[in-house]
Amino acid sequence: MPKLGVNIDHIATVRQARRTTEPDPVWAAALAELGGADAITVHLREDRRHIQDRDVRILRETVRVKLNLEMSIADEIVDFALDVLPDQCTLVPEKREEVTTEGGLDVVGQLDRVRRCVDRLQEAGIETSLFIDPDEKQIEASDSLNVHAVELHTGQYADATDAETQTRELDLLFEAGEEVRRRNMLLLMGHGLTYRNVEPIVEIPEVYELNIGHSIVSRAVLVGFERAVREMKALLNPSITFLSEE
């Protein structure tokens, strides 16, 4: 069974909508650990749209499972990672205008830049993972950099709107996963996974860990919404007793 890395970026998205202090991703990380998360993932984007430097620094002190920092290969961010020392860094492509990470990192096309970044992180003892498309050339290039792991981008699979495309994308992930394991890198996967589409991914042999964020945060908001309203209603009118409490 794969381990579960929980991405808590969108807890910070809600906080940043008001530039206030709640909800605090540090609290969310603790609750995720209580729920069984094997890793906590945060993406410190160059534009700091959700996770802030402060979050990563505090999480470094509080997270008891693996802390995985998703990041671009920009020097400023690499310097930050070397200062904070997360357990793992996942290198992703980053464009300012994108809503979320759109494709895998082009390791083939910028091999020297990625190598410099990987070397700096690995020399500091940080395990490094590359977020790539399920593509043989990208896997081969990643292997040439001696990275600890690769995370295969499941976005194309998740976005498939018909069964045929979904099966094709799943087959690609199976094949790419086999290649990653043949090369003795740890096999991680993520992006766009939900409560409805995750099960076939779990069947992929030797997939070590899945990184899931948006779907868990979305469900948390709705699963907790009714209780949150009840609690506010009770504050407004303490004499109200709800059926569930009788």
Residue of 10, 50, 70, 169 marked catalytic:
70
Residue of 10, 50, 153, 191 marked catalytic:
191
Annotation marks residue 214 as catalytic: no
Annotation marks residue 94 as catalytic: no
Annotation marks residue 191 as catalytic: yes
Q: How far is the CB of 95 from ligand PXP (least distance, A)?
A: 12
Question: Which chain residues interact with ligand PXP by CB under 6 A?
Answer: 7, 9, 43, 70, 90, 92, 100-101, 131, 151, 190-193, 211-215
Q: How far is the CB of 243 from ligand PXP (least distance, A)?
A: 36
CA atoms within 13 A on the CB side of 23: 16
**177 versus 190: smaller Cβ distance to ligand PXP:** 190
CA angle 68, 74, 80 (to 5 degrees): 55
Strand ranges for 72-172 from DSSP E: 88-91, 127-132, 149-153
**100 versus 227: smaller Cβ distance to ligand PXP:** 100
CA-wise closest residue to 152 among 99, 199, 90, 98:
90
Structure tokens at 139: 């896997």
**134 versus 213: smaller Cβ distance to ligand PXP:** 213
Close Cβ partners of 101 (under 8 Å, ≥ 6 residues apart): 43, 70, 92, 93, 94, 131, 191
Catalytic residues: 43, 70, 191
